[in-house]
Structure 1
Amino acid sequence: MTKHHTRRELIGASPINSELVDYLNQARSPSHNQLAPCVALIGCDGSGKSTLARDLVSLLNRNINTRSVYLGLGTGDFGRRIAKLPLVGGVVSRFLQNKASKAHEGRDKRLPGLATALAMFGLSLTRRHRFREALKYRKKGVQIVTDRYPQAELAGGFDGPGLNSARKGSPLVEYLARREQSIYRQMAAYQPTVIIRLNVDVDTALARKADHERALLEKKIAVLPTLSFAGARIVDIDATRPYGDVLASTLAVLQRFGLRA
């Protein structure tokens, strides 16, 4: 087993390596042990994160106080709601998509203007607020199940910084990009107990989220396996299977990490 795969398992294709999980549980840092458990659900749109988060909280809450926290930005759903507005919806939606596309392009592009940068920075501050609320609950002994989890490895979406600090721009926007990167590094330093990565193919995702763009879903599916979330413990689950099987597999993983429904 290579170093790259030491913290990952695949559910639905191979059995859980219980010895590996036991070893990882023993290796938890002291700061992590001071917090109540946190289960982070990540995956492409249409992988079932929201439904699974809701059901996990309902089941885990029977034994220990458990809450669900959404750590995404919700900008995709916001844009789709705007697009449905009469007369102006299509125009405004295309404007927002164009702004987002320019902001998320490659490293050779410049940072966006101040207005766009401030909006993106503001969204990250909102995410940090939610993250801090989750930490407060964990410090009080409340288990947390998160829909999404912040990462500091890749800017321009995928629950990472909105601004790419490697790009050039105005001095003020460059400062915002550096500050935003620091915020995400601080959040990513708090590793969840386990990350459940729900894997689906693009056709399955589109069947569940027909209003999404295929190209964007394909990009998300391609990028997710490359993210390490600061070395967090990641378990892969095949989310193309019937939901009952996905839920059962997830509960089996959580039991091995000491979380019981």
Structure 2
Amino acid sequence: MSNSADSAKSSARGRLRPVRLLTVGVFALAGLIFFTSFNTAKGTNIRTDGSLLKLSDLIQERSRKNKDLEAVNSGVRGDVERLAERDNGSTKADDEELSGLEKASGTKKLKGEAISVTLDDAPPNAAPKLPGYPDPQPNDLVIHQQDLQAVVNALWHGGAKGIKVMDQRLISTSAVRCVGNTLILQGRVYSPPYKITAVGDPEKLKQAVAASPEIQNYMLYVNAYGLGWKVEDDGAMTLPGYSGTVDLHYAKPVN
């Protein structure tokens, strides 16, 4: 009987030993994880560490910084222009030529009759509004780069003297680009709805927009799926001057 009991105890100890070893291993692993987390955090909250911010948050933050820098740059440029006007030794003809170049380049404010064109995404649950159209794909319901470019090109073709996209004036080096469903313009990020404002002859501008083949194609999606589209007369208004840098980083003048 005694031998049988000793054998049972030995067998039980044999079965428990792997369990104990596994328990010790789990605690050791947990300790290693805690130590690694502490070493990584360096006393900070990992959940709120800046390195783990979403890319979209970083883009928005950079956009806000670019806006602030543009404001500073505009103020410094104004100071430089005021100092230059004190005594620059130029003639009246020189000043008139410079003023004309500044207006053409878009760095000066521009006042005149204006129209605005607003584009917006369709509702996410949009369905065909007309018979015979298939159910929309995701790309059918959002504004694309080509849509914005089509409006800008049509307005230039209609004789626009100046164009503003959202709150920024376009110049010859401006590029209207979209990444996903956001617009990136001159270092700043925008979400729909997108508003494009142009100064010029309102009737000619509207005619040019209506005659654009690209915009006519866009209107098919407006009518079928509800993409946003609005053309308005703004009356007399003033476009801001371009306030960003005008330095060319790649192109160089020909001697």
Both structures adopt the same fold (TM-score exceeding 0.5): no
Q: TM-score band, normalised by the shorter chain?
A: under 0.3
Which has more radius of gyration?
2
- Per the normalisation by structure 1, the TM-score is 0.24
Larger RCO: Structure 1 or Structure 2 (Cα < 8 Å, ≥ 6 residues apart)?
A: 1
